[in-house]
Amino acid sequence: MTSIELMMEEHKKILRMLEVVRRACTLFMEQNTINYSDFEKMVDYIKNYADLHHHGKEEKFLFKEMQEQMGQMGTNLVKHGMLVEHDWGRLFVSELLAAIESYRNGNTEAKLDIIANAVGYTAHLKRHISKEDAVVYVFAAQKLSQETMERVDKLTDIFEAEAMENKIQETYDSLLTELEGKYL
């Protein structure tokens, strides 16, 4: 499997978690109760699987090569596009965590911030994933040399092997299945 194929497979898992997040927000809105533990698990998945694991590969390997090999076009697409969107997602998550803590401390108005940031994140990431799958990855595969893509694939394989030793994939696949069982 190429690095791009792997990242697209990871996108499918991340999209599944986004559905869990939306459903958890719907239940919070309807029932006026929050399962803090489940929201913390969702944030854990987002921060450690979607961001550190998945975005980590994109940023360290594929996007780095795109910026180095494609000149201004690659820089514009990555630095002024994809990386900005990654940071925007991180802002949603940071604000979500702050809202959860505020709600836990008795600020009932923070319920709105929890839902707004969680749902905002899901909408943002869905658009981001669609753009990567349909445009960015296709563009990279067409414009980067075979040698460069092979280097990205090799680095991705090493990254994945280290993550497997640390049970990253197993842990987050299990967490996704657990939360889907509760919310979908």
CATH number of the domain where residue 140 is located: 1.20.120.520
Number of domains within the chain: 1
**pLDDT reported for residue 56:** 97
Q: Cα torsion for 100, 101, 105, 107, to the nearest 10°?
A: -50
154-166: pLDDT as tens digits: 999 999 999 999 9
**pLDDT reported for residue 123:** 98
**pLDDT reported for residue 2:** 98
**pLDDT reported for residue 41:** 98
DSSP 2-43: -HHHHHHHHHHHHHHHHHHHHHHHHHHHHHS---HHHHHHHH
Give the residue ranges of the chain where pLDDT is below 50. Answer: none
1 in helix, strand or coil? coil
**pLDDT reported for residue 170:** 98
**pLDDT reported for residue 105:** 98
Residues whose CB falls within 8 Å of the CB of residue 170, separated by 6 or more in sequence, listed in order: 164
Give residue for tokens 């008795």: 106
Determine the structural domain holding residue 159 and report its residue range.
3-183
22-46: pLDDT as tens digits: 999 999 999 999 999 999 999 999 9
